Structures are given as C-alpha cells and as structure tokens.
Amino acid sequence: MNEADTPVAAEAAPARVAGEPYGELPSDLYIPPDALRVFLEAFEGPLDLLLYLIRRQNLDILDIPVFTITQQYMAYIELMEEMAIELAGEYLLMAAMLAEIKSRMLLPRTTTDEAEEGEDPRAELVRRLAEYEQFKEAAQGLDEVPRVGRDLTPVRLAAPAVAVDKPMPDADLKALLGALHDVLARAELNTEHVISRETLTVREHMTRILDKLAPGARTSFPALLAIDEGRLGVVVSFLAVLELARESLIAIEQAEPYAPVALRRAAPVGAV
C-alpha cells in the first residue's frame, strides 16, 4: 500500500482536486506580498493607540514606562508604513513627543535640574491619557444604551378608522347678531387715526385779515371768516386775530358788554 494513499496522508492534504489530494501550489501562481496580512487593530488617534498599549500590558497609567511604550509605538508606526497606510500628522507628532520625554528621562539629572524643570516630563502625557480615557468610557457607555433602530424596534399600530357623528350646533338669529356685534366691536379697536398736515396756516390768515381791514374802519369778526373753510377756518382765523393783537397790528374794541366785537387796524407808532 502506497504511503500517499493512507487515510492520514489524505487528511493531511490541504486540498483535493478531482478526488485526489493536492499538496503543492502551481509554479505560475502569483500571490501578492500583502495578500495574507491581516491588520485587526484600528485606532482613532495616537492617544487611543497609547491607551491600548498601556491597557494590554496592565500598566499603571500614572507611572508609564516611557522606554517600553515608545518602542511599541514606533513598531506600530513602522508596521503602518510597511502596509502603505497613510499616517496622520498627529501620529508623527506623538512619536516626537515620546522621543522627547524618553530623552529627558534618560539624561542624568541633578538636584538643581529637578528644581528648575519642576514636574515629571510624563505629567502632561498622563493628564491627556486620563482625560481621553474618561471620554472614551463615556462614549462606550452611551453606545451600550439601547438605541431605536439598532436594538429596539418601536411597534407602530395604526388606529382603526372610527366614524364619529358630529351633530351641527343649533344656531338662531339672536346668536348670529351677537357674533356680528362682537366682530364689529373688535374692528373698532383696530381703527387707525391718521394725522394729516394742516392746509391752513395762521400766517396766511394774518395777511388776509390785514388786507380786509380798511384804514380807520371797524369790521366785525364774522365778516373776516371764509364759510368754505368750515370749523378749521374759524379756529385758524381766531388764532390769527390773537397773533395780530399781540403784535399790536390790530385793535379789538367792544362798545359795551355783550356788544359785537369790532376789529380795526392799529395806528402806526408815532402817528397823530
């Protein structure tokens, strides 16, 4: 019995063609270099990558071993470059920051240098990582909340059509007249009062009254009014008479109580 025909050899064959075990790849088969490479981890930024490296090794975020983390971070960057993944500028900036922190921690430090530099070079990085971790946990907590359309499907049940008899109200003539009265009352509240400019002026009436008063003659006030001007003309004429009397251009005379009022031109100043 041939060894290739044994059940163990048949089961160990990677593939079978036409029922026969096939264990060698064709010589003209082309396989791209990156065809079998799988990149599982995807990060949202350099802080996410650093947090992943720290949590994977159960490291204390307040006491980061910068040397180890920097090596792993740079290995990840090199892996991304080999896979022809375009690196964002923030990844390279974080790499430069880690290199700076690493160099500052490797340099020998004296008591004077420690007093001048102050806090730990890792303090700012630790603060940013702790803040990012809080936001990431909050985002994960929100994502776990049941969401309509993803975890829940609301039940929509159309209400059946119900025929409802709506009786018309009984209206009489009295109610209709009352409604009309209310509408007219509201309309009066919305009326507008338009103020127009007066067409009659006191100065024009003063000139006209002086023209009607003959020298030395007395004229009654009604004779100076124009009937077509109406009530407004009477008011403006009366104001014109008062203004002329104030300027001593006319004299107002009355022979006795309740007698008609007469107007005459005043004598010029200095006249005999």
Domains of the chain from N-terminus onward: 46-108+118-143 (no CATH), 202-265 (1.10.10.580)
Confidence at 41, pLDDT banded by 50, 70, 90: low
Angle between helical axes of 66-82 and 89-106 (0-180°, round to 10):
150
For the cut 70, the answer to whether the pLDDT of residue 229 exceeds it is yes
pLDDT at residue 119 in the model: 64
Q: How is residue 12 written in tokens?
A: 């160990």
Quick one: which of 265, 264, 250, 252 has its CA closest to 219?
A: 264
Q: How many residues does the chain have?
A: 272
**pLDDT of res. 97:** 82
Q: Which pLDDT value is given to residue 3?
A: 46
Nearest to 44 by CA among 133, 141, 122: 133
pLDDT bin (cut points 50, 70, 90) of residue 270 is low
Indicate the average pLDDT of the chain: 77
**pLDDT for residue 219 is more than 80:** yes
Report the C-alpha gap between 50 and 56 in whole angstroms.
10
> How sure is the predictor about 9, in pLDDT bands with cuts at 50, 70 and 90?
very low
pLDDT classification of 223: cutoffs 50, 70, 90 = confident
Tell me the one-letter amino acid at 158. Answer: A
Q: Is the pLDDT of residue 129 over 50?
A: yes
Q: pLDDT band at residue 33, thresholds of 50, 70 and 90?
A: low
Tell me which of 171 and 9 has the higher pLDDT.
Answer: 171
Pick the range with the lowest mean pLDDT from 15-24, 36-45, 183-192. Answer: 36-45
* Spatial contact of 40 and 76, defined as CB atoms under 8 Å apart: no
**Structure token pair of residue 58:** 């159960």
**Whole-structure pTM value:** 0.38
pLDDT of residue 7: 45
Q: Residue 264 forms beta bridges with which residues?
A: 251
Among residues 249, 242, 243, 246, which one has the least CA distance to residue 268?
A: 249
**CA-CA distance, 68 to 79, in Å (whole number)?**
17
Mean pLDDT of 90-106: 79
User: d(Cα 244, Cα 40) in Å, to the nearest integer?
Assistant: 106
Compute the average pLDDT of residues 67-80.
81
- Are the CB atoms for 152 and 90 separated by under 8 Å? no
Cα gap 174→197, rounded to integer Å: 45
Helices 46-56 and 89-106, axial angle in degrees (round to 10):
50
Under DSSP, the state recorded for 85 is P
Q: Hey, is 135 helix, strand or coil?
A: helix
| CA dist list (Å): 122 to 3, 66, 106, 117 | 64, 8, 13, 12
